[in-house]
Amino acid sequence: MERRELKTPCFVVQERKVRENLEILKGVGEETGCHILLAQKAFSMYSLYPLIGEYLDGATASGLHEARLGYEEMGKENHIFSPAYRADEMDEILRYCDHVVFNSPAQLKKYGAKAKAAGRSAGLRINPECSTQEGHAIYDPCAPFSRLGTTLETFQQELSQEEIQGLDGLHFHTLCEQNSDDLEVTLRAVEEKFGPYLHMMKWVNFGGGHHITRPDYDRGLLKKCIRHMKETYGVEVYLEPGEAVALNAGILLTEVLEVVDNGMKIAILDTSAACHMPDVLEMPYRPPLKDAGDPAEAMEDQINGNPTEDQAAGARKTVAGSPEKPYVYRLAGPTCLAGDVVGDYSFDRPLQCGDRLEFQDMAIYTMVKTNTFNGMKLPDIVLEREDGTCEVIKSFGYEDFKMRL
């Protein structure tokens, strides 16, 4: 099947691009001796786990179901972290996971001995209280009053020397879509606060948020950071990238259902920001769209009807890095939520019903976060093979909506 034959909406994951990302990640692991795990919370398309397992050391989970998925579908190293575990799930978690990371001294005291008795490696997530993010507190584990990780003060007050010595490793996760210079800053804070304890550990886990496969990512500095920790403290180093595995490796293919006008042109799509790409509303952000430009700074001069030739000629300036085009539309979903809006875009020609659009970089934090609000159909999941042919991996319908209610 070719891409043009696919029924919309659908996520199309490109096998070739995933493999290219995996080759980069494997290279980092081989050159530094670190362990690299797939963070399933970002990308859980398990039909690709055999491929991912050829390159990475395993997977990491945020709860029981992800832990089971990694265990059954990848079968390599399997780690887990959760802010709080359920007592009635711990036995099953210990069957699946090699490393169990606890969020607080209380959780460690409650379950640590059981994990060690089962032969599992026990770790504690720390909070170095070093924020390197700007503008997205929802994704900042070091924001004030964060529930994630143990601060140095709590670490020292609530853990005995014997309990600290019983730990196998320390875990931190402070980054979100960031470069290695922010990791370097974080490591300085970790060493300053927890350095004496790192000498007592077998491993340290850098968590996720590392955009290692991004073109401008400084992998040389990343390798330097990994080697420094290994050589200084004699520990094994783990990284848990999620986005980096499938970065720029998938699209969300959608179709224009209708075009309305309410002071500006609005194209209603068969995909929904609220249901199919909720990060657009949560973060918020405006996803890239193939062959589209940014809206005009002077958009109000163009949205009431077609632009003149002079307006079109003047609309070629650059706004936020994308050339502006003469026809401006707001792209929105078909749900009853008034704010189900993806964003404003500009095009070379007027949009028509039946036009297909491709939202870019849609393999990560999309399929794992979809929902069926308003009875919206979940997008099909499609794998585009390296020869360009497409295979529908999973298709959804009414029963998938009904079974959740």
110 phi/psi in degrees, rounded to 5: -75, -40
Write out the E strands in 149-245: 169-171, 203-205, 236-239
Which own/partner contact pairs does 392-401 have at CB distance under 8 Å and 24+ positions apart? 392/1, 392/6, 392/10, 393/45, 393/47, 400/372, 401/372, 401/375, 401/376, 401/377
Mean pLDDT of 63-89: 98
Is the peptide bond between 9 and the residue preceding it cis, with omega within 30 degrees of 0? yes
Q: Above 60 in pLDDT, residue 316? A: no
pLDDT at 190: 98
For 139, the 3-state DSSP assignment is helix
CATH 2.40.37.10, the chain: domain bounds? 257-354
CATH 3.20.20.10, the chain: domain bounds? 15-246
pLDDT at 281: 95
Please give the Cα distance from 222 to 179 (Å, whole number).
9
Of 45, 53, 75, 392, residue with least CA distance to 249: 45
194-239 pLDDT, tens per residue? 999 999 999 999 999 999 999 999 999 999 999 999 999 999 999 9
Please give the Cα distance from 272 to 339 (Å, whole number).
10
Upper half-sphere CA count for residue 405 (Cβ side, 13 Å): 10
Q: How far from each other are the two terminal CA atoms of the chain, in whole angstroms?
A: 34
Query: Which DSSP string do the residues of 276-299 spell out, in sequence order?
Result: H-THHHHTT----BTT-BPPPTTG
Reported pTM: 0.92
Could you tell me what percent of the chain has a pLDDT over 90?
Answer: 90
Please give the Cα distance from 278 to 344 (Å, whole number).
17
* Average pLDDT value for the chain: 93
Mean pLDDT of 95-111: 98
The count of other CB atoms within 10 Å of the CB of residue 306 is 11
Is the peptide bond between 295 and the residue preceding it cis, with omega within 30 degrees of 0? no
pLDDT at 296: 63
The β-bridge partners of 121 are 99
pLDDT at 136: 74
189 phi/psi in degrees, rounded to 5: -70, -40
pLDDT at 6: 98
Q: Above 50 in pLDDT, residue 298? A: no
Please give the Cα distance from 385 to 17 (Å, whole number).
10
Assign 37 a pLDDT band (cuts: 50, 70, 90): very high
Assign 295 a pLDDT band (cuts: 50, 70, 90): confident
Summary count for the chain: helices (H), strands (E)? 14, 18
Please give the Cα distance from 32 to 314 (Å, whole number).
51
Please give the Cα distance from 45 to 242 (Å, whole number).
12
Please give the Cα distance from 174 to 172 (Å, whole number).
6
Q: What is the largest CA-CA distance in the chain?
A: 77
pLDDT at 322: 64
CATH number of 15-246: 3.20.20.10
Say if domain 257-354 classifies as CATH 2.40.37.10: yes
Mean pLDDT of 284-306: 70
Q: Above 90 in pLDDT, residue 299? A: no
Q: Under a CB-based contact definition with an 8 Å cutoff, are residues 19 and 214 in contact?
A: no
